[in-house]
Amino acid sequence: MARILAVDDEQAMLQLIRRVLEKDGHACTLVSDAAAVLNMNFSKYDLILLDVMMPGVDGFSLCRQIRSRVDCPILFLTAKTQENDIVQGLGFGADDYITKPFGMAERRARVNAHLRRDMREKKNSFSISGVVFQLNAKEAQADGQKLPFTKGEYEICEYLALHHGQTFPREQIYEAVFGYDAEGDSSVISSHIKNIRAKLAACGLSPIETVWGVGYKWV
């Protein structure tokens, strides 16, 4: 079951969306006021459906404003079929377009296809505190840009982020990242943390907290 947010100013369309998607076991949150979406918590949704032609805040504008806070597919529902309209919408961060009028089978198929693809991608990545970790590539990103971590810095960040909320002393971090047999001193962790913080601060992020006398944790 996926959690889907549907935004459309027409109540009849919202109810139709709910009936169609609930057939596949999805839970739908329906919103008819696009402006109200701006302050929502998007982390609990697996996919967002946006109507383009809405009064006040249209779908294009809404997508542009929320894209940086959304870590799931966004699909437009629209009667606009001109190529430049489609290109414009995708440029705002949408993942796909479903043009009106559309068949219910097509809508279900497109939604489920995006959910499957997103699930596959998320198995190899996770996002926390504004940082996206690509586990296979051993890379971290913020605001779509690769963070310039060294291999050791990335490993420290990944270890703390995977255990977010837990505090670890320098010795435990050192052993987890560099191994028991590594030749070095755990005090090097403090220097790595300093460099990591500087690189994250350049993106306006500060997820690593010092617990004095104990160690560090990702918050």
Q: Along the chain (219 residues), what's the average pLDDT of each consecutive run of 10 residues?
A: 92 91 92 92 89 90 88 83 74 81 75 78 80 89 91 93 93 86 75 95 96 95
Contact between 128 and 158 (Cβ < 8 Å): no
Which domains does the chain possess?
3-123 (3.40.50.2300), 126-218 (1.10.10.10)
What pLDDT was estimated at residue 101?
66
- Work out the number of other CB atoms within 10 angstroms of the CB of residue 9: 18
pLDDT score, position 69: 82
CA angle 85, 89, 92 (to 5 degrees): 145
Looking at residue 122, what is its pLDDT? 63
Q: What is the pLDDT of residue 184?
A: 64
Contacts of 21 (CB under 8 A, 6+ apart): 4, 6, 28, 108, 111
Identify whether the C-beta of residue 8 lies closer than 8 Å to the C-beta of residue 14.
yes
